[in-house]
Amino acid sequence: MDENLTKDSDVARDRLTLDITDLKERIEECRSDDPAWRELSLSGKIRALLVKQLETLEKQKKSPANESKGK
């Protein structure tokens, strides 16, 4: 039972409140041509965008072209 309490508190620490007033419409419309996008909750859309951008940045960081630019 204590294990579940620990997991719940870990989840609570990883959540945050974020003001997206100026971004909400842009988020909703960025993939509006995709029916699956329209079905996602706003938090799901934000998470999907973050994951995609992180993957892109991680690929760029690992790219050999970027390594040669630094030399």
Place of tokens 């706003």: 42
User: Residue 7 has what pLDDT?
Assistant: 67
User: Residue 63 has what pLDDT?
Assistant: 83
CA distance 46 to 57: 16
User: Residue 1 has what pLDDT?
Assistant: 47
User: Residue 30 has what pLDDT?
Assistant: 94
User: Residue 48 has what pLDDT?
Assistant: 96
* pTM exceeds 0.85 for this model: no
With a cut of 50, list the residues of the chain below it in pLDDT: 1
CA distance 52 to 55: 5
